[in-house]
Each structure stands twice: as structure tokens, then as C-alpha cells.
Structure 1
């Protein structure tokens, strides 16, 4: 297993293809095919990801035997000393193998490296499996966020962060 930063346009194209596969597998039953297609075009296309990287987002592949099977996106806000785990996605065939946990641990380490003392994320409020998984990893819901993303679509999410003990 390797976690590799996405740096080239060719790697972004591979990432976009992986996103297409994962999103169609996972999100169609949650938000519907039309919204999946819309979000892929506007947030997970080669052009959208490349633009995000150019403005400071960090994307990473998780590869097994040189094949990308998962990815994350991290966005540091150094003014507030916090980092958003913007995306953490694993192919269906690779779930349950600890890859998500490895990516989460990598995210926590990366946050520390960037002098961020807070890691947070949003998860679709109807994505019960992911909400449960994040809860098992120590995340708690701290807010609800409903964001208009255009053409009548919304991101209807819970904002979560690790529980402070």
C-alpha cells in the first residue's frame, strides 16, 4: 500500500476516472443519478480537480500494487489552523480492508505537518454507512450544513470532527 500525492495532469485524469467509478457505485442510491452526474462534472472532473490543486487542495491516491483504489482531498486553512478532509473515497471492492482508516491517519498526520490543530469534514446526512464509520473513528457531528450547489441541487451534510476527550 502506498499513499501518493497527485501532482500531474495525467494523475488528475486517473483520479477523475476513479472518482467516476466510486461515485456511481456509492452515491447514486443516496442522491440520485442526476445529482451524481452534476457533482462529478463540477467537483470531480479532471478540470475541476486540476483547478482545486492549483488553488491549494492536496489530493492523494492510495495505491495497492500500483493501482489506485482510493483517494482523499485535504484543504488546509492556515489562518484558522485547521484542515478539511474534503474527500475520502474507497472503491467498493476494497472497503473493509482498513484503507479508509489508513487515509484518515494520513490526513491527521498531514494536518499536524501543516500546523493545523483541527481536522473536520462533512458527510451527506443520508450516507448512513459513512456516518457510522466516521463515528467508529471517533468523529462526532458538530453542525448541519445545507449548501446550494446550483441547478436545484444541495449538499445536505453533517459537519463532523474528532471528539475531544
Structure 2
């Protein structure tokens, strides 16, 4: 389970690696954040489809086994996670990809996303990666502003058929990682 002292922390948050035992918490957080974030941006049917597809417990186990680094965000002094991120190498040179970053709506705008991003930057740079990319829904203004404040810049677009009659319509953003 989540170990508060095994990762990065600041005054308000602690970030630590997620394990298979944390999958139920990841799924609960995804459910809470997705409905808040995407309702009105994509259809309720697409939200249900994507939650079932992307957060199926066996899929998360497989991602963890295949090297996707899942991180949990916890409020200082608490044990229940309030956010998460997932990242991995892309297989294209020294580029890593941020797959997911979500903070529970009741804990947003307090530095949690920054704590998660800082942890991903450090871990990816320590692993030898020099660039971090991500995709974000073109209509997700809140996330776009967050990523732009964090130094990400647009470098493309992507429309991807994900099945079920749904597509992901995203911007591709990237930022360099420190070379220290």
C-alpha cells in the first residue's frame, strides 16, 4: 500500500510509487476525477467507455508489470491518496510520456499537480530521459493552462479512434527535462 515516506514530498503533499495493492484506489480516483473533469467536454457514454477501458484492474496490473511508473499523491498527514500520475519511456530515444495525471476535485489548485509533475520530471530525468510529452483533450482548458504554466509547449495534434465509436481529440505537448 501507499507508503508516505518512500517518495518525494513538500509541505502539503507526498508522492510515492503505487503498487498493485493500490489499484482499487487508482480506479476510485479515476472515477471521481473523470466525471468532474470531462462531463460536458465529452459524452457520458464516452466517459464510461474510457473509464472501463483505461482503468480495468488487469490493464493497470499489466502496465505496472510492463514498466509504467504509477505514482500516488497524498495530502500531508493522510494515508488516502488524492491524485495520481503514470509515465513511461516511449521507446523513441530519450523521450518519456506522461500518460495520466489527475488530482481529486476537492484537492485541486493546491499544488498537487505540481508535486506530481516535479516527481515525474525527477524520475524521468534520473532514468536518462531528456524530453517529456503528453496528450491533452483539446477542450480541457484547465489542464492546458496547468501544463503550459509547467513549461509544456504544443508540438502537434492527434485524433485517435479508440473504438466504441469514440475518438480522442488531443493536443500533443512536450517540454525538455533538466540534463543534470
1:57 corresponds to: 68
Aligned match of 2:131: 118
CA drift of 1:45 comes to 2.3
Residue 101 (structure 1) aligns with: 114
Aligned length: 163
**d(CA) in 1 for partners of 2:22 and 2:66?**
17
Cα deviation digits, residues 134-153 of structure 1 (max 9, x gap): 11111111000111100111
1:116 alignment partner, SS class: coil
Q: Tell me the secondary structure at the aligned position of residue 102 of structure 1.
A: helix
Is 1:47 the equivalent of 2:47?
A: no
* Shift, 1:31, TM fit: 0.9
How far apart, CA to CA, are the structure 1 residues paired with 2:99 and 2:138? 15
Paired residue secondary structure (1:31) = coil
Q: Name the SS of the counterpart of 2:172 in structure 1.
A: strand
Instruction: After the TM superposition, list the runs of 4 or more consecutive aligned residues in structure 1 that deviate by more than 4 angstroms.
Output: none
**Root-mean-square deviation (Å):** 1.5
Structure 1: gaps (5+ residues): none
Deviations 1:49-105 (A, max 9, x none): 112112221111101111100100011135511110111101111111011011111
- Contact between 2:15 and 2:115, CA under 8 Å: does it hold in 1? no
- CA separation in 2, counterparts of 1:82 and 1:162? 10
Q: Do residues 2 (structure 1) and 34 (structure 2) align?
A: no
Unaligned runs of 5+ in 2: 1-12
Match for 1:127 among 137, 140, 144? Answer: 140
Matched with 1:19 is 30
TM-score normalised to structure 1 length: 0.93
